[in-house]
A and B are shown apart, each in its own frame.
Chain A
Amino acid sequence: MVRAVPGWLRIAAFVFVLLAAIFMLAPLVVVMGVSVSESQFVAFPPQGFTFRWYENALGSPAYLGAFWLSLNLAVLVTVSASLLGGAAAIGLSRGRRSGGAVETFFLSPLVLPSIIFAIGLLMLWSAVFGATSFYALWLAHTVVAIPYVIRTTLAVLAERDPFLEEAARTMGATRLKRLWFVTLPQCRPGLLAGAFFAFNISFDEAVLSLFLRNPNLTTLPVQIYGQLEFSPDPTVAAVSTLMILITVALMLILERMLGLTRFASG
């Protein structure tokens, strides 16, 4: 190989990556810092160290209520998006070619910004059912989560051995048996990754939840947004830090079980 990269460029690249890392992670670090600062105003660098704001957050009915709503919602969205998205991916993988019209249609919620269908869904729901409800949020979040499940599952199915199912068929396995013993095990890593993404998307989603919110329907991100609009305080930083930690936990599980780089560059 030729002398690959000049030395000064290697140093420049290192500095560049370092600056990019600071730029990308600083907002998260700052929120974590504020959450343990003794100052009752939002301040960074933190002064002293305290868990008082966490006690505050965990004792607040508004935050607790929002947390349970978000958790319920995220779990149900994970189930519905994995079932529907997984089935769709299996169906799509059997089609003759990839990138067809049906696949484009299934992935379209990924391309179209959610604000456009959020406003439409609010208007449609109000016209048909009246006030928005939990089911409206469930439907909305499932629609945006399905494409992620489809993408991760399709990526896994593209690498599978197609003759395995063929072999099962020749050996006389019924449709249900082929699905249960051959196709589903082949889908497993993709379905799992998709399920994690679906949970994460629903738990963190703000746009649809803001449009569909009502006083009895406030998810955790919406609760945080409301507080930020009004006045940021260390308690909201504590809640935000807990949300960051949940994301970190999800990422660690994903990396341990499946490897992140595999789905990152799909």
Chain B
Amino acid sequence: MTDRRETWLFLLPGLALLVVGFIFPIARMLVLSVQGPDGHTVDQFARFFQDTFYPSILWRTVYLSALITAICAAIGFPLAYIMARSGPRVRLWLVIMVILPLMTSVVVRTFGWMVLLSRSGLIASTLRDFGLVGRSFQLMHTETAIVLGMVQVLLPFMVLSLLGVIIRLDPRLEEAARTMGCSFLQTMRRVVLPLAAPGLLAGSILVFTLSASSFVTPALLGGPRIEVLAGSIYKNVTQTLDWNFAAAQAVILFAGIALLLIPYLRLGRRAHG
């Protein structure tokens, strides 16, 4: 047996499982989305775009995901920088603070937000006590609730992608910038931020795709009236049992994500090779 053949022997079982359990299902979804009672059809896609209902769901999905990504980047960058430049003990605690929520089920975390955001919950009652909001103030079942919950769910992905890059930066670069007369904030803007850009880009793409495709948190915090694309897919699969239409919506989501990912993957490969 040659070494080459042995290498393939190691790879083959995993490859076979991925083809059967990952590639075939995606292919099946693509096929079902264009299947009609008599042959191929694009009726399901036409139905999606024929009135304003589904396009408005798509639009809400896109702008909520963009907002969530921007907030995650704004919080994640300073947090990752502080983590990278602190001592090992502090860093361990900060890593725990980020990873413990990440490793906890998304259902459980969303439950926590449901309690916090409810009408009698901590946030609403505190705001009412200070007289900042009226009696009818409501956070649950608003887009604000979705954004709050999703940022907490997805922030770890942003922080970890940034941390991986910032921790490898040579701190002497920052010292050099400071000796040359840059202020701390100028150093951040002119030296650290450009060098951390790959991590920021990777984290942003990850957060955007995950946010565009999640339905557990939006469904529980946004309620039935504020629908997002992934929630609409889930509803069509489990409640209305309209699988062809669900497949078409999944293809639209898939296409949007592929549009984001493919240029990024090609960029990454060029940087590697």
B136 CB–A CB distance under 8 Å: no
Q: Is B163 an interface residue (CB 8 A)?
A: yes
Q: How far is the CA of A206 from the CA of B216 in the complex (A)?
A: 8
Instruction: Say yes or no: is A87 at the interface (Cβ < 8 Å to chain B).
Output: yes
- List B111-144 residues whose CB lies under 8 Å from chain A: 111-116, 118, 120-122
Indicate if the CB atoms of A116 and B109 lie closer than 8 Å.
Answer: no
Known: A28-B104, A123-B243, A244-B108. A211 touches B97 (CB 8 A): no
Cβ-defined contact, A119 with B247, below 8 A? yes
Q: For A11, what are the chain B residues with a Cβ–Cβ distance below 8 Å?
A: none
Chain B residues whose CB sits within 8 angstroms of the CB of A28 once the complex forms: 100-101, 104, 108-109, 112
The answer, yes or no, to whether A30 is at the interface (CB within 8 Å) is yes
Q: Tell me if B233 and A115 are in contact (CB < 8 A).
A: yes
Name B220-255 residues within 8 Å CB distance of A: 220, 230, 233-234, 237-238, 243, 246-247, 250, 253-254
Q: How would you classify the secondary structure of chain A's contact residues: helix, strand, loop or mixed? A: helix
Which residues from chain A contact B214 at a C-beta distance below 8 Å?
A: 113, 115, 207
* A25 & B261 in contact (Cβ 8 Å cutoff): no
Closest to A89 in B: B10
Q: Which residue of B lies closest to A91 (CB)?
A: B10
Q: Could you tell me if A143 and B17 are in contact, using CB atoms closer than 8 angstroms?
A: yes
A240 touches B111 (CB 8 A): yes
**Would you list which residues of chain A between 16 and 55 have a CB under 8 Å from chain B?**
16-17, 20-21, 23-31, 34, 42-45
Interface size on B, residues (CB 8 A): 95
Q: Are B92 and A120 in contact (CB under 8 A)?
A: no
Neighbouring A residues of B247 by C-beta, 8 Å: 119-120, 123
With a CB–CB cut-off of 8 A, which chain A residues contact B75? 20
**In the assembled complex, A171 has its CB within 8 A of some CB on chain B:** no
A122 at interface, CB cutoff 8 A? yes
Quote the shortest CB–CB distance from A83 to chain B (angstroms): 8
Residue of B nearest to A87 (CB): B10
**Interface check B82, CB cutoff 8 A:** yes
CB-CB < 8 A to A43: which residues of B?
120
| Per-position binary interface string of chain B over residues 193-233, scored 1 when its CB falls under 8 Å from any chain A CB and 0 otherwise | 00000000000001001101111100110000000001001
Contact of A27 with B113 in the complex, beta carbons under 8 Å:
yes
A195 to B90 alpha-carbon distance, docked (Å): 27
Complex alpha-carbon distance, A20 and B98, angstroms: 9
- B237 in contact with A204 (CB, 8 Å): no
Other-chain contact of B250, A23, A115, A142, A143 (Cβ < 8 Å) = A115
The answer, among B92, B94, B109, B209, for a CB contact under 8 Å with A113, is B209
Contact partner of A31 (CB less than 8 A), chosen from B3, B28, B115, B219, is B115
CB of A16 within 8 A of CB of B237, answer no
Binary CB contact string for chain A from 213 to 229 against chain B (1 if under 8 A, 0 otherwise): 00000000100110011
Q: Which of A186-244 contact B (CB under 8 A)?
A: 200, 203-207, 210-211, 221, 224-225, 228-229, 232, 236-237, 240, 243-244
Cross-chain contact B108 with A240 (CB below 8 angstroms): yes
* Cross-chain contact of B103 among A109, A200, A229 (Cβ < 8 A): A200
- State whether the Cβ of A108 lies closer than 8 Å to any Cβ in chain B: yes
The answer to whether A58 has its CB under 8 Å from any CB of chain B is no
- Inter-chain CA distance A43–B121, complex, in Å, is 7
Assess whether A104 is interfacial by the CB under 8 Å rule: yes
Q: Please, which residues of chain A bring their CB within 8 A of the CB of B10?
A: 87-88, 90-91, 94
Distance (whole angstroms) from the CB of B210 to the closest CB of chain A = 6
A255 to B96, CA, bound (A): 10
Contacts of B152 in A (CB 8 A): 23-24, 27
The 0/1 profile, CB within 8 Å of B marked 1, for residues 244-259 of chain A is 1001101100010000
By the criterion CB–CB under 8 Å, are A42 and B115 in contact? yes
> Known interface pairs A2-B179, A25-B100, A30-B112. Does A102 touch B11 (Cβ–Cβ under 8 Å)?
yes
Given contacts A83-B13, A243-B104, 4 further A-B contacts (CB under 8 A): A30-B122, A102-B11, A211-B234, A251-B100
Interface residues of B (CB under 8 A from A): 1, 3, 6-11, 13-15, 17-18, 20-22, 24-29, 32, 75, 78-79, 82, 88, 91-92, 94-101, 103-116, 118, 120-122, 152, 155-156, 160, 163-164, 167, 175, 178-179, 184, 206, 209-210, 212-216, 219-220, 230, 233-234, 237-238, 243, 246-247, 250, 253-254, 257, 261, 265, 268-269, 272-273
A-B contact pairs, 27 of them (CB 8 A): A1-B175, A2-B179, A23-B152, A24-B156, A26-B112, A30-B112, A42-B114, A44-B122, A87-B10, A94-B7, A111-B209, A113-B257, A115-B213, A119-B250, A122-B237, A175-B1, A204-B106, A204-B108, A206-B105, A206-B216, A221-B108, A228-B220, A232-B111, A236-B111, A247-B105, A251-B100, A265-B160
Nearest 10 pairs of A and B residues by beta carbon: A27-B112, A120-B25, A91-B10, A113-B213, A120-B29, A204-B105, A88-B14, A91-B11, A121-B25, A2-B178
